[in-house]
Amino acid sequence: MRLDRAELRVVSLPLLRPFRTSFGVVADKTFVLLRVFGDGLEGVAEGVMDARPQYREETIAGALALLQEAVLPEVLGREWANPEALVRHLSGLRGNRMALAVLEMACWDLHARGLGVPLCTLLGGTRDAVEVGVSLGIQPSVEATVDTALRHAEQGYRRIKLKIEPGWDVTVVRAVRAALPDTPVTVDANAAYSLAHLNTLRELDTLGLDYIEQPLAWNDLRDHAKLQALMHTPLCLDECITTAQDARKALETAACRLVNIKVGRVGGHLEARRVHDVAAAFSAPVWCGGMLESGVGRAHNIHLATLENFTKPGDTSSSSRYWARDIVNEPLETTGGIMPVPPGPGIGVTLDVPFLDSVTRWRADIGA
């Protein structure tokens, strides 16, 4: 795998509907896109960091600076045996898992294309389609939430996840549960609660949820362990887990019983697979999370989710739920809650470059 040059972009794609979580509203999804070129081929990936560090601490500005000024100049113009060799070379760098993931993931795409095989084959995937649910942002009313939940269940989505925050929880969850008694329902608080909300969390515990995602602080395993000991409903960690070691500690201390794996949050596919393997060793299920990705990140997620222990439906739903037009040529659409793996080498999607150019806000060529 030769890395000759790279192209870094900041892209802004308008969402069909604003997406509201406990930490804020997104109307236009702004993300870092990296293309790496070598041996006449290209690999591509997108980052999951935002402009403002509200989900985790990394930012677009920080990732661009790190990649452009330190990491890319050091890895370009060289031959790498495989993505593992590149990851080993960068293993002394602390944190910045989202920034490093962009490079690692683009290299996996390039490497798989060089070998002429789908990425899922290299990762050790065991299926050619993945089960998915939807993540529904905070809606203007309980009625609107029940409505959209019903619509998505009718489309066959395998699980309905509701975003919650203090003051928007028990009532809306109870209403959706009553409307959809047989559909798996989960909630995601994005770290909006503390142990001071124990009464509310205990009420949520009685509603038959599949799991409760990241109720407490983004960096607090200890309080999650305290809470899990008081709850019947399994806790699922998202923000807290950026490495396989985090996952091991979380499962060892019973801070959660399952893990949301986001390849872009944990530093790339190799670390995502390690998190998957650690969870399997604890008999803990994992599922593939999403960060409102374009077709590029979405395709990476689908390939990752073909690994064996991704036994719960993920968040990688149809692109057409998010955008009027995507930056890739291939449609990524579900039927009956099943998302097929895009066939072909690498991640199986190709960039619609003219459209990409029209939604690019900033661009730098490195090593050209």
Positions annotated as catalytic residues are 163, 262
Residues contacting 358, CB < 8 A, separation 6+: none
Q: Among candidates 320, 274, 273, which has minimal Cα distance to 294?
A: 320
Residue list 124-153, contact with Mg ion (CB under 5 A): none
- Select the residue whose beta carbon is closest to ligand OSB and give its number: 290
258-291: burial string, b at 16+ Cβ within 10 Å, e else = bbbbbbbbbbbbbbbbbbbbbbeebebbbbbbbb
Cα gap 175→139, rounded to integer Å: 13
Q: Among candidates 105, 147, 76, which has minimal Cα distance to 304?
A: 105
Q: Of 160 and 292, which CB lies nearer to ligand OSB in the complex structure?
A: 292
Instruction: Answer with the entry of Mg ion, ligand OSB, none that 145 interacts with (C-beta below 5 to 8 A by kind).
Output: none
Cα gap 131→129, rounded to integer Å: 7
Least distance to Mg ion, CB of residue 134, Å: 13
Tokens (6 digits) for 338: 């099943």
Instruction: With CB under 5 A as the rule, give the number of residues binding Mg ion.
Output: 3
CB 32 within 8 A of CB 63: yes
Least distance to ligand OSB, CB of residue 168, Å: 15
Kindly indicate which of the ranges 63-71, 115-123, 208-216, 261-269 contains the residues binding Mg ion, using the contact rule CB under 5 A. 208-216
Instruction: Answer with the entry of ligand OSB, Mg ion, none that 135 interacts with (C-beta below 5 to 8 A by kind).
Output: ligand OSB
CB 7 within 8 A of CB 34: yes
Tokens (6 digits) for 103: 């490079």
Tokens (6 digits) for 18: 């604003």
- Select the residue whose beta carbon is closest to Mg ion and give its number: 238
Q: Of 238 and 326, which CB lies nearer to Mg ion in the complex structure?
A: 238
Cα gap 223→259, rounded to integer Å: 16
Instruction: Answer with the entry of Mg ion, ligand OSB, none that 6 interacts with (C-beta below 5 to 8 A by kind).
Output: none
Residue list 151-190, contact with Mg ion (CB under 5 A): 188
Tell me, residue by residue from 234 to 263, as one string, x for binding to Mg ion by CB under 5 A and - for no binding: ----x-------------------------
Q: Of 86 and 191, which CB lies nearer to ligand OSB in the complex structure?
A: 191
Residue numbers of the site for ligand OSB (CB under 6 A)? 55, 135, 188, 190, 238, 289-292, 315
Cα gap 90→278, rounded to integer Å: 22
Q: Of 55 and 211, which CB lies nearer to ligand OSB in the complex structure?
A: 55
Kindly indicate which of the ranges 179-187, 231-239, 339-347, 358-366 contains the residues binding Mg ion, using the contact rule CB under 5 A. 231-239
Q: Which residues bind Mg ion (CB under 5 A)?
A: 188, 213, 238
